[in-house]
């Protein structure tokens, strides 16, 4: 039996008059029925300009109601939605646009200068503000399109910090099962409201809470960019029950006066993702009585994969928990065997929520998706109770004098020091040891290299203590706020680090 995967139509019929989306900057809001009308009008426009099932439609915009317009219009006619990273350079955007070859691009009025020279056949649609939808003419009724589970739905391009960005193809099955798994495993309901500050061209902005909450009938509050004090204000003003931020954002939030003064009566739980979270952030929320936990995911898998109860998160700091209801994991050692308890290996994930393939990159697909298992490239261990801990990226592991060093262990210890604001541990080549450990840090007060080495020696084996420390005002970040180790390594190799 062929089942139509357009679940958005069914959601609208259940609670058409309930608020679905709120713009935190303009205070405008849209009900589910209004969201449906906008998507259908845009879908008619897509059909009018010749977009057919399987064609790509792209969007270059900060967080905005248009993301939902494009998502559900694409779902309606079987088009493939490609959210574009507006923080990329013109050259990088050109590479992505050439790769996915969209039939049309919606572009925010503030971002026209970011677009490269485009093929004349690509249609441009100006996204001035939410009223852009009113400038689109109403066209005749479209023919119904059957959307099946394996049809491509969204292509999200990876960050590209390790090379050319890859277009991760997420089918209708992938998106739906990630949402179902999240709703059931995390206990989301139509009473929940989230604040989406992560960019929606990123899987964290689109797929962690935004689409799962639309599926279950909750509310999504959008903000165009992250600002720590405003995030605190929005969490309170819109009575948010949950939200996702990356550790860098949490670090900025807990330092604000507004956070120190505020209470959060409606918050059920906050989730950290994108990178392992320092213990000091756990402690700041514990003092406020706010439930806090870490998640783990990647564009190719979900991105939601684990569940941990906030009480267990306090008991097992740093753990992302156990696999969610509808996915499997295993941890494989270098010799291909399943790891024992607390033995480190590569994390593999499978389930109906994993990606289908990389756009135009069959070799990369074959390397990452093997026998239905996504090889994440992340190192992990699982304790005796089944709780999983992410140790770090496989490519980041340092081998010095034959010993394996996991940078995350050193970073977490460094960031526990009251004078250390941020830390990143990387390797440099060395004739004697093969690689040696170095640390890049941003400090809140002046501290010497000798003092930091002595502090590390209190807990870490000698070979784990960084041989050199490089001091920064702030560490470089990726477009979603993660510390950019690739930029640090590049700077170090080219003698451009400021010390």
The string of pLDDT tens digits covering residues 225-280 is: 899 999 999 999 999 999 999 888 998 999 999 999 999 999 999 999 887 788 88
Residue closest to 421 by CA, chosen among 392, 448, 441: 441
Query: Can you say whether the dihedral through the CA atoms of 311, 227, 85, 441 is positive or negative?
Result: negative
Label the pairing between strands 104-108 and 80-83: unpaired
- 178 close to 215: Cβ distance less than 8 angstroms: no
Q: Residue 163 has what pLDDT?
A: 57
- 170 close to 153: Cβ distance less than 8 angstroms: yes
Give SS3 for 125: strand
Q: Residue 89 has what pLDDT?
A: 84
Number of neighbouring beta carbons within 10 Å of residue 163: 9
Q: Residue 495 has what pLDDT?
A: 45
CA-angle at 45, arms to 357 and 78, nearest 5°: 25
Question: Across-strand partners of 281?
Answer: none
Q: Residue 72 has what pLDDT?
A: 97
Which residue numbers in the chain have pLDDT < 50? 161-162, 495-499
Residue closest to 115 by CA, chosen among 61, 168, 66: 61
Q: Residue 498 has what pLDDT?
A: 39
Residue closest to 57 by CA, chosen among 85, 81, 84, 93: 81
Q: Can you give the length of the chain in residues?
A: 499
Query: Can you say whether the dihedral through the CA atoms of 324, 298, 36, 8 is positive or negative?
Result: negative
Domains and CATH numbers, the chain: 7-388 (3.40.50.12780), 397-493 (3.30.300.30)
Q: Residue 1 has what pLDDT?
A: 52
Q: Residue 101 has what pLDDT?
A: 96
Encoded tokens for 175: 């998106």
Q: Residue 290 has what pLDDT?
A: 94
Q: Residue 160 has what pLDDT?
A: 54
Number of neighbouring beta carbons within 10 Å of residue 368: 21
Give SS3 for 374: strand
CA–CA dist 345, 307 (Å, integer): 20
CA–CA dist 465, 427 (Å, integer): 12
- 180 close to 7: Cβ distance less than 8 angstroms: no
CA-angle at 46, arms to 40 and 51, nearest 5°: 135
φ, ψ (nearest 5 deg) of residue 386: 95, 5
Q: Residue 437 has what pLDDT?
A: 93
Q: Residue 435 has what pLDDT?
A: 85
């Amino acid at each position: 039996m062929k089942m139509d995967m357009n679940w958005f139509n069914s959601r609208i019929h259940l609670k058409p008059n309930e608020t679905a989306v709120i713009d935190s900057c303009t205070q405008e809001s849209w009900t589910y029925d209004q969201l449906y009308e906008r998507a259908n009008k845009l879908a008619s426009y897509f059909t009018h300009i010749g977009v057919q099932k399987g064609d790509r439609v792209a969007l270059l915009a900060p967080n905005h109601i248009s993301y939902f317009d494009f998502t559900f219009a694409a779902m309606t006619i079987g088009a493939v939605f490609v959210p574009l990273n507006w923080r990329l350079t013109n050259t990088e955007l050109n590479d992505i646009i050439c790769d996915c070859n969209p039939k049309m691009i919606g572009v925010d009025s503030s971002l026209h200068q970011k677009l490269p020279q485009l093929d004349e056949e690509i249609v441009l649609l100006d996204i001035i503000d939410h009223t852009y939808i009113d400038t689109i003419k109403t066209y005749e009724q479209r023919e119904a399109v059957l959307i099946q589970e394996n049809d491509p739905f969204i292509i999200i391009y990876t960050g590209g910090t390790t090379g050319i960005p890859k277009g991760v193809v997420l089918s209708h099955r992938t998106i739906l099962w990630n949402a179902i798994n999240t709703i059931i495993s995390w206990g989301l309901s139509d009473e929940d409201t989230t604040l989406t500050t992560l960019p929606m061209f990123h899987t964290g902005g689109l797929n962690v809470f935004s689409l799962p909450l639309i599926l279950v009938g909750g509310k999504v509050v959008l903000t165009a960019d992250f600002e720590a004090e405003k995030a605190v204000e929005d969490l309170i003003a819109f009575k948010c029950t949950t939200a996702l931020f990356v550790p860098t954002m949490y670090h900025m939030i807990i330092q604000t006066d507004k956070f120190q003064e505020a209470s959060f009566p409606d918050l059920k739980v906050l989730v950290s993702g994108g990178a392992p979270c320092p213990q000091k952030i756990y402690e700041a929320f514990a003092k406020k009585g706010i439930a806090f936990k870490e998640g783990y995911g990647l564009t190719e898998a979900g991105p939601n994969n684990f569940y941990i109860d906030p009480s267990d998160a306090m008991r097992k700091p740093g753990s992302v928990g156990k696999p969610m209801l509808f996915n499997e994991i295993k941890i494989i050692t270098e010799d291909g065997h399943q790891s024992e308890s607390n033995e480190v290996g590569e994390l593999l994930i499978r389930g109906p929520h994993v990606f289908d393939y990389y756009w135009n990159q069959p070799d990369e697909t074959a390397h990452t998706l093997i026998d239905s298992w996504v090889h994440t490239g992340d190192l992990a261990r699982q304790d005796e109770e089944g709780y999983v801990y992410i140790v770090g990226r496989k490519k980041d592991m340092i081998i010095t004098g034959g010993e394996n060093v996991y940078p995350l262990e050193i970073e977490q210890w460094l960031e526990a020091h009251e004078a250390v604001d941020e830390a990143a541990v990387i390797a440099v080549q060395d004739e004697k040891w093969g690689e040696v450990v170095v640390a890049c840090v941003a400090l809140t007060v002046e501290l010497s290299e000798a003092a930091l080495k002595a502090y590390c020696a209190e807990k870490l084996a000698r070979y784990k203590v960084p041989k050199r420390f490089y001091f920064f005002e702030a560490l470089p970040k990726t477009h979603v706020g993660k510390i950019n180790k690739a930029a640090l390594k590049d700077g170090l190799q080219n003698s451009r680090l400021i010390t």
